[in-house]
A and B are shown apart, each in its own frame.
Chain A
Amino acid sequence: DGGITQSPKYLFRKEGQNVTLSCEQNLNHDAMYWYRQDPGQGLRLIYYSQIVNDFQKGDIAEGYSVSREKKESFPLTVTSAQKNPTAFYLCASSIGLYETSTDTQYFGPGTRLTVL
């Protein structure tokens, strides 16, 4: 079955540590996205990538970094510079950037990060 996987589902981190969240898709999608979800605030875009080896900052990129070395993979690193990292993180992908002609964005199941 095609889809998006995120791991781990739950992640705990001590303050001052960097942590990397995994996102893998086998949908052959060019575009991938990372969102942060906080209660009552909807989804906010952290980073997005239109194609391999290219990525752009979203609305709240500070304290985060990404890489896109393979089409299938778009890992997100939450660095110690992120002041309030506890949140639910969602990865998504689409055939093209902000595609509207198909089923738009497919979302992974999410990773809940808690900073202790």
Chain B
Amino acid sequence: GDSVTQMEGPVTLSEEAFLTINCTYTATGYPSLFWYVQYPGEGLQLLLKATKADDKGSNKGFEATYRKETTSFHLEKGSVQVSDSAVYFCALINNDMRFGAGTRLTVKP
């Protein structure tokens, strides 16, 4: 079945550092891809999405490009802030919805 694999955390960065969280997927056909963010004690919020190959999703300085040739959807941000500290989930929708295990990011001042 379909699956999502994302880099294990936790990831700890200093403020203004560059962020990459890797995400790869296995799926038949053409899934839609998503990044969700979960702040402490809260539910998930959609961060960005891409619904076809080569699409780039972006929001709040975060970006991810749907790469079908490498089955990847890596999350990047050029300069992280303390307020970006959260757990990030990569996900796909194909016949159903699958989530990665989540990557915890901590940004230190």
Alpha-carbon gap, A45 to B96, bound state (A): 10
State the interface size on chain B (CB cutoff 8 A).
21
- The answer to whether A104 and B93 have CB atoms under 8 Å apart is yes
Query: Which of B32, B96, B99 is in CB contact (< 8 Å) with A42?
Result: B99
Query: Which of B4, B42, B100, B101 is in CB contact (< 8 Å) with A110?
Result: B42
Q: For residue B42, which residues in chain A have a CB less than 8 angstroms away from its CB?
A: 109-110
B43 CB-CB contact with A under 8 Å: yes
- The answer to whether A107 and B101 have CB atoms under 8 Å apart is no
Using A42-B99, A45-B97, A100-B93 as known contacts, say yes or no to A110 and B51 having CB atoms under 8 A apart.
Answer: no
Within the complex, the shortest CB–CB distance from A74 to chain B, in Å, comes to 14
Chain B binding surface, main DSSP class: strand
A49 CB-CB contact with B under 8 Å: no
- The answer to whether B96 and A43 have CB atoms under 8 Å apart is no
A90 CB-CB contact with B under 8 Å: yes
Q: For residue B43, which residues in chain A have a CB less than 8 angstroms away from its CB?
A: 4, 6, 90, 92, 107-110
Pick the most buried of A41, A42, A105: most chain B CB atoms within 10 A of its CB: A42
Alpha-carbon gap, A105 to B45, bound state (A): 9
- The answer to whether A107 and B93 have CB atoms under 8 Å apart is no
Closest 5 CB pairs of A and B: A107-B43, A100-B32, A42-B99, A42-B101, A43-B99
- Chosen A-B contacts, 9 in total, with CB atoms closer than 8 Å, are A42-B89, A42-B99, A100-B93, A104-B32, A104-B34, A107-B36, A107-B44, A109-B42, A110-B43
